[in-house]
Amino acid sequence: MTEQKDTLYANPLAQVDSFSFDQQVVDVFPDMIKRSVPGYPTIVNMIGSLAERYVTASSHCYDLGCSLGAATLAMRHRIQTAGCRIIAVDNSPAMIQRARQVIAADSQEEIPVEFIEGRIQDVAIDNASMTVLNFTLQFIDIAERPTLLDNICRGLNPGGILIMSEKVAFDDPPHQELMTQLHHNFKRANGYSDLEIAQKRASIENVLVPESLTTHRNRLRAAGFSSVDVWFQCLNFASIIAIK
Ligand code: GEK
């Protein structure tokens, strides 16, 4: 499948609508996420490495907010044990439709992938050895986050892991400002103009709601995870491993 360049915000818009995961976004998504999220390819690759280590025989793996299935593919290609199944969930019909095509074109066919088009808050999680929330929790209403993480922890087998990547916020305003500016520099270096950066920022405001690493750690502990640590961070993007 050819990768289209993200130019969604390249021209001045009379009105910047709230960001949504529609067909336009799906068409440019791989390019958009790579040029916008520092460390995204590293994180996806490491999800594969963690699958190799943590996924146990005959268990379930969940990719919650799967988009086009990057984390699903990373797990599928590295799982070493038999009898596993990956459940990939997204509430964007356009994303799920394209993700099905991506998986249909994948040569690794031994591990079945089940797609669910729906809200991750409504998915029953059971017999899980690995669950991934790769830049998805940030789109969930803050009030619904604790219940979702409780549900994820309950559905994991003992020793199972959650990989949770998020854009994060900082309590110290000067540090927040510095991280924001460096992130914008990252986007500029990847070819986004100041107009694109400003319009995207306006569209994502109130749709993507970042929280601090302290808030994430406390919530994961409260959900029942026994070990919670950051394993990756670049600027205001971080990934946590939480072990049950
Ligand atoms: C990757 N994990 O490439 N229920 C289900 N899906 C949701 C919900 C919800 N309530 N809210 C948002 N989504 C992927 C990248 S993108 C991150 C994840 C980003 C979905 C939404 O439709 C989108 O596909 C995904 O979460 C977030 O590893 O765009 O920054």
Q: Which atom of ligand 1 is nearest to the CA of 95?
A: 24
Q: What is the C-alpha separation between 227 and 52, in angstroms, rounded?
A: 19
List, for residues 103-127, the tens digit of each pLDDT value.
999 998 899 999 999 999 999 999 9
pLDDT, residue 109, reads 85
**Does position 190 have pLDDT exceeding 60, yes or no?**
yes
Site of tokens 């440019």: 28
Question: Is the Cβ atom of 134 under 6 angstroms away from ligand 1?
Answer: yes
End-to-end CA distance of the chain: 38
Question: Is the Cβ atom of 97 under 6 angstroms away from ligand 1?
Answer: no
Question: Is the Cβ atom of 140 under 6 angstroms away from ligand 1?
Answer: yes
pTM score of the predicted model: 0.97
pLDDT, residue 159, reads 97
pLDDT, residue 105, reads 95
pLDDT, residue 112, reads 97
Question: Is the Cβ atom of 21 under 6 angstroms away from ligand 1?
Answer: yes
pLDDT > 90: what percent of the chain?
86
Considering only residues 3 and 92, tell me which one the structure prediction assigns the higher pLDDT.
92
**89 Cα to the center of ligand 1, angstroms:** 9
Confidence of residue 185 (pLDDT cuts 50, 70, 90): very high
Q: Which of 22, 31, 136 to mutate to test the pocket of ligand 1 (most atoms within 8 A of CB)?
A: 136
Q: What is the C-alpha separation between 102 and 34, in angstroms, rounded?
A: 17
Site of tokens 């964007």: 92
Alpha-carbon distances, residue 70 vs 45, 95, 147, 173 (angstroms):
9, 12, 25, 33
pLDDT, residue 92, reads 97
Give the residues across from 156 on adjacent strands.
Answer: 128
Q: What is the mean pLDDT of the chain?
A: 95
**126 Cα to the center of ligand 1, angstroms:** 21
**198 Cα to the center of ligand 1, angstroms:** 22
Alpha-carbon distances, residue 99 vs 6, 56, 66, 113, 218 (angstroms):
18, 25, 8, 10, 33
**Does position 1 have pLDDT exceeding 60, yes or no?**
no
CA-closest candidate to residue 219, choices 159, 168, 183: 168
Confidence of residue 2 (pLDDT cuts 50, 70, 90): low
Question: Is the Cβ atom of 66 under 6 angstroms away from ligand 1?
Answer: yes
DSSP-derived 3-state class of residue 92: coil
Whether the Cβ atoms of residue 76 and residue 111 lie closer than 8 Å to each other: yes
CA-closest candidate to residue 234, choices 185, 191, 198, 188: 185
Question: Is the Cβ atom of 89 under 6 angstroms away from ligand 1?
Answer: yes
Tokens of 122: 């409504």
**Does position 65 have pLDDT exceeding 80, yes or no?**
yes
pLDDT, residue 184, reads 96
Q: Are strands 60-64 and 227-234 parallel, antiparallel or unpaired?
A: unpaired
pLDDT, residue 238, reads 98
CA-closest candidate to residue 230, choices 217, 239, 218: 239
Mean pLDDT lowest among 1-5, 172-176, 220-224: 1-5
Q: Are strands 85-90 and 156-169 parallel, antiparallel or unpaired?
A: unpaired
Q: Which atom of ligand 1 is nearest to the CA of 43?
A: 28
Mean pLDDT lowest among 83-87, 143-147, 199-203, 231-235: 199-203
